[in-house]
Structure 1
Amino acid sequence: MKKIAIIGAGVMGKQHAQTIQKHPETELIAVCDPFSEAMAQEFQVPNFKDLDELLRQCKLDGVVIANPNRFHVSTAIECMKHGIPCLLEKPLALNTEEALQLISEQKKLNVPILVGHHRRHNKIIQQAYDLIQQGILGKINTFNALWTVYKPDSYFEIEWHRKSGAGVLAINLVHDLDLMRYLNGEIESVHAMTSHQNRKLEVEDTISILVRFKNGALGTLLASDAAVSPWGWDQNTEENKASFAPSPDQNCYYISGTEGALSVPNLEYWRYPDHSTKSWSTALIKKQQLPNKDEDVYMNQLSHFIKVIEGKRSPISSPEDAIKNIQLLECIEKSAREQRTVLIEPLEFLAAIA
């Protein structure tokens, strides 16, 4: 039974607490939050207001770091100094420079960190990944992604939701960008445009991103939180029923190649009949792999974290991988601001500290 503490008693902290409590191989033994003891009381465990006190008094197999983003790096470093593996909620850090500091310390301390890009643990993504690896699409040429919803007016009553940096790019699209990278490899350049026309707020409400993958494929990610539609990961996978009305018959990713096409999350794929001539005049046949929408993605993530703690698995989302999402967001912001294509420069400093 792995003894785990949660640092940060917000929304994500509570999500992790519920998961740890349900998992047969984990035990929640403490919460660390300087502002509120409510979650600790709810789950009947002690609350520590001070991180040092938690680390001194509790024998831990792992921690979940879900405190405010600006404390992610300092908290993870302190936990690693005590030899404690971390499940670190995204974002890994506030920027690439801060992420590099964390990676450098991790190399010295040699303590594993799993970054909480939880969608990678969704069985549908593993199914899609396996189909792509089997070569059913041939050489991938296009990857189109959609995330279009309508956030209620009440969402913007919170002041920071109206400020630059809290728009669809940083808050919502980091997940889709991570999955585009996971399914089709690294991105080498981006060109982005943003719009504020709907709410006239400092924060963008709509964004269009063009990407070029290193394997030669081109992609788009079109998103808006002021558009009525059934298309988006949360609606289509039913992963977050508490916040998003489901649209399970729809898809949000469309991937096509020289041999076939795949839609996600419903895992429908199209190809020409065997021995037929590939031509737009030849009818395609459709197959479908039944998507696994029943498993709890956070339970899957926690099971993976247990294997990371035990040294049986490398993190599916490591800091060295997650820093690329931060760099990608920075380049997209720069592209939109300067109205030009931005190349994703190699993170050569990672090799320097390897």
Structure 2
Amino acid sequence: MQSKKIAIIGAGVMGKKHAQTIVKHPDTELVAICDPFSDAMAQEFNVPNYKDLDDLLNTMTLDGVVIANPNRFHVSTAIQCMQHGVTCLLEKPLALNTAEALTLIEAQQSLNVPILVGHHRRHNKIIQQAKEIIDAGTLGEINTFNALWSVYKPDSYFDIEWHRVAGAGVLAINLVHDLDLMRYLNGEIESVQAMTSNKNRKLEVEDSISILVRFKNGALGTLLASDAAVSPWGWDQNTEENKTSFAVSPDQDCYFISGFEGALSVPNLEYWNYPKDQSKSWSTSLMKNKVEPNKEEDVYIRQLTHFVDVMNGIAEPISSPQDAIHNIQLLECIELAAKEQRTVYLEQLQCFKKSA
């Protein structure tokens, strides 16, 4: 099978990460960069740079593109690529809002070109291992899902103006990943409540948020997060997925999932059940078991392997636009719940009804 010819649109941090991954993968070939502002990355990887997307799409025969340009161009870029029949790996967020996401979904359904949305954590082997434990019934019916994300962003982070304004806080920038995994592991979310605080830095943007969710299967979940709180708890610290940016604390966990038959902590994949010959009771000691978490496999290589399968037509995207739109809707509902201090039901959104 010939290597898949892939171009990258957007030569920023994520574009470079994808470029490094493509050149390492045995089944892919980086053939071009498209960036209107700089050809530095194209020179680094010894491929041509196109300043205009139409020029790229009309000149080169591509199997796929990675769309990693600024968020406001995601939808228009993906539609342009699909009109040329090119399969897309679209970095998250899918779109800036639900209405824009619906425009993309309608175009994708009409053009019938696959899109894989870059919720890369779904490809982490640890998440696949956790899902296997849950799907095997080890926990029974899930009742609670508690997630933590707590770090201290340095003061210099807020020297950048847009980092200080509403919409650039922990909810939109960081927690979309955790919300996506909560959905992936336990199903869709029905309603949300939320509170935010900016008491630490006194900026317009929130520095802490507490989210309560009710899943459609009746389970309750919490997501407590802060970028102004010192702690070892969070996906990046605990999975060692992003060692270049985060100091690691691999002995800690950030997700705690409990059901009618057992409990599971992630990412260390320790799970607890009662002995089979004893009754379930808080006075009975739990037995601890463990699956050794696979922290060695490169999550971006795994994502790219899946993208190759999508391009070959032998796999459906693990995160499609029809799935990823729920994350956009969740963010909007959480913002509304925090602002109005009330429970917000996702199905109350008119745009949700159109996409469901």
Give the TM-score band, short-chain normalised: over 0.9
| Cα drift, residue 251 of structure 1 | 0.1
> Hey, what's the Cα distance between the residues in 2 that align with 1:196 and 1:107?
41
| Cα drift, residue 274 of structure 1 | 1.2
**1:47 corresponds to 2:49:** yes
Q: Which structure 2 residues correspond to residues 15-164 of structure 1 after superposition, within 5 A?
A: 15-164=17-166
Equivalent residue letter for 1:38 = A
From 349, 352, 355, the equivalent of 1:350 is 355
**1:223 corresponds to 2:225:** yes
| Cα drift, residue 349 of structure 1 | 1.4
> Hey, what's the Cα distance between the residues in 2 that align with 1:215 and 1:56?
48
Equivalent residue letter for 2:312 = E
* Counterpart in the other structure of 2:189: 187
* Counterpart in the other structure of 2:285: 283
From 319, 322, 325, the equivalent of 1:320 is 322
Equivalent residue letter for 2:142 = I
| Coordinate RMSD, CA, aligned | 0.7
Give the share of equivalent positions with the same residue, in percent.
Answer: 78
**1:14 corresponds to 2:19:** no
From 256, 259, 262, the equivalent of 2:261 is 259
Equivalent residue letter for 2:97 = N
| Cα drift, residue 318 of structure 1 | 0.1
Q: List 4+ stretches of structure 1 deviating above 4 A.
A: none
* Counterpart in the other structure of 1:245: 247
* Counterpart in the other structure of 1:169: 171
| Cα drift, residue 238 of structure 1 | 0.1
> Hey, what's the Cα distance between the residues in 2 that align with 1:139 and 1:300?
29
| Cα drift, residue 195 of structure 1 | 0.1
Equivalent residue letter for 2:21 = T
Equivalent residue letter for 2:355 = L
> Hey, what's the Cα distance between the residues in 2 that align with 1:341 and 1:310?
43
| Cα drift, residue 139 of structure 1 | 0.9
> Hey, what's the Cα distance between the residues in 1 that align with 2:154 and 2:224?
20
> Hey, what's the Cα distance between the residues in 2 that align with 1:238 and 1:144?
20
1:47-106 superposed Cα distances (whole Å, 9 cap, x missing partner) = 000000000111100000000000000000000000000000000000000000000001
Q: Secondary structure at the match of 2:179?
A: helix
Per the normalisation by structure 1, the TM-score is 0.98
| Cα drift, residue 227 of structure 1 | 0.3
| Cα drift, residue 275 of structure 1 | 1.7
> Hey, what's the Cα distance between the residues in 2 that align with 1:6 and 1:23?
15
| Cα drift, residue 348 of structure 1 | 2.6
Q: Secondary structure at the match of 2:185?
A: helix
Q: Secondary structure at the match of 1:193?
A: strand
* Counterpart in the other structure of 2:295: 293
Equivalent residue letter for 2:115 = I
From 296, 308, 311, the equivalent of 1:309 is 311
What is the total number of aligned residue pairs between the two structures? 351
> Hey, what's the Cα distance between the residues in 2 that align with 1:303 and 1:278?
43
> Hey, what's the Cα distance between the residues in 2 that align with 1:13 and 1:194?
32
